[in-house]
Amino acid sequence: MNASSPATVRRSSASRHIVSVSSTSEVLLSRGFASDIRITEQTPQESRVAVMQVEIAARASFQPGKAETPPPSPAAAAASSATEDAPLLPDGRVRRRGGSGRFAQRSSSFRREVGRAAAETFLLTRLTLILLRYLGVGYRWIRQFLALCCYTLLLMPGFIQDWTCIPTSTTGSKPVVAFVTGGAWIIGYKGWGALLGRRLAERGIIVACIDYRNFPQGTIGDMVEDVSQGISFVCNNIASYGGDPGRIYLVGQSAGAHIAACALFNQASRECGEGDAASWSISQIKAYFGISGGYNLLNLVDHFHRRGLYRSIFLSIMEGEESLQKFSPQVTIKESFARSAISLLPRIILFHGTSDHSIPSTESQAFVDALQQHGAKADLFLYEGKTHTDLFLQDPLRGGRDKMLEEIAGVIHHDDPDASSQHLAVPIARRLVPEFMLTLAGRVSPF
């Protein structure tokens, strides 16, 4: 699900046209915008004049005593050819073909698609050039980019397989997970949540993947606002997709965990009178799961710089050094204005691998400690030897038992009267990528 605010479609009053050309003509019925439809009418008087002209020309061309007949006009020849090729109605009348109209519609649709593709290509090219200007010619990010390409190719066999998930039960409303993907605030995409979505769908859970603007199309404020609007859409519309609006859970991974946590704290502050109200309530979120996230940006600036996310570009993403504290949930909860907001927060559960070099596990540990000190319900699960992407990518691709997903599904289905024994019994997932490819991917991973 591309999470954006619902679009409003305005239909013109001229969006429906019915034109009767003559008694032997078909009725043209078109639906669409007025700008897409062009109809040329011919008055009955003009039609009779045209017929009379044809009859006069035909009579003038026939003269007794002459064996030679002049060739028909091009218009008459075309009409004759069309009449011969066109099918006949049961009463002998000729059915007029609508091929030209369909061709015009297809051509118009094709032009729109080409225009849309050209606009998107131009946008991506422009954003790429802007990003390259920020990155410069430093060797670290080039090395990381090449490693990312190799890493993606090694895991690709697991992503190109059949992702069709048939629900085992269609009765009753299902619990819902709103997922926010990571991507270093630059390469995030909702499709990265496909593995998590498949595994949770097998457990009877609906997953809505929220998209947001990446840098340089947007900065951290835009990303938090996009995610907040995505959560709002899920809360207000998930019932139409079979979800239970009273059982919604928020999950974020890496940069997505940071953005989702910011959106959660912003909403809690709004409901305490700090800012404008939003179209969703924090009480609708039953729990928040953060996977391999960073929650104190002040501690991560130099760390990211050493790993290729240079200080200049990171500060540009975060809207300047003065905004680092504002977008650091671990820091903001210590402010006096945040005390009442903390009481509104749902249960917070964090997951982190101890061998995570992209974002150290101490980030999650410090965040949980700060939450508990201020009275929030928070828990931490550490996984020995797991890297930044093991919990989210390699482990689901490896198949077998997935401890982190078992914890998430266990919390969601806890005391759920509608949860069947089939959903409570965790299925054994099949392997999607050979082990040697996963091992090699782990070695070349830039994360």
Helix (H) / strand (E) containing 260: helix 255-271
Contact (Cβ atoms closer than 8 angstroms) between residue 265 and residue 328: no
* From 228, 254, 358, 445, active-site residue: 254
Torsion of the alpha carbons at 391, 392, 396 and 400, rounded to the nearest 10: 20
Task: Judge residue 118's burial from the number of C-beta atoms within 10 Å of its C-beta, 0-12 exposed, 13-18 middle, 19 or more buried.
Answer: exposed
Going along 227-284, which residue ranges are E strands?
Answer: 243-253
What sign results for the dihedral spanned by CA atoms 146, 318, 236, 257? positive
* From 226, 356, 395, 402, active-site residue: 356
Q: Is the peptide bond before 446 cis (omega within 30 degrees of 0)?
A: no
Q: Return the ∠ at Cα 103 (arms to 100 and 106), rounded to 5°.
A: 155
Among 209, 185, 184, CA closest to 195: 209
Among 394, 397, 314, 389, CA closest to 359: 389
Q: 347-353 and 378-383: which strand pairing? A: parallel
Distance, CA of 250 to CA of 258 (rounded, Å): 12
Q: 27-31 and 16-20: which strand pairing? A: antiparallel
Q: How many CB atoms lie within 10 A of CB 443?
A: 11
Contact (Cβ atoms closer than 8 angstroms) between residue 343 and residue 375: yes
Q: Tell me, what amino acid is at 393?
A: L
Contact (Cβ atoms closer than 8 angstroms) between residue 33 and residue 9: no
388 noted as active-site residue: yes
Q: Which residue has the tokens 């570009």?
A: 313
356 noted as active-site residue: yes
Contact (Cβ atoms closer than 8 angstroms) between residue 141 and residue 417: no
Q: How many CB atoms lie within 10 A of CB 10?
A: 6
Among 438, 397, 399, CA closest to 158: 397
Distance, CA of 113 to CA of 323 (rounded, Å): 40
Distance, CA of 444 to CA of 441 (rounded, Å): 5
* From 352, 388, 413, 423, active-site residue: 388
Contact (Cβ atoms closer than 8 angstroms) between residue 330 and residue 291: no
Among 326, 376, 318, CA closest to 347: 376
Catalytic sites, residue numbers: 254, 356, 388
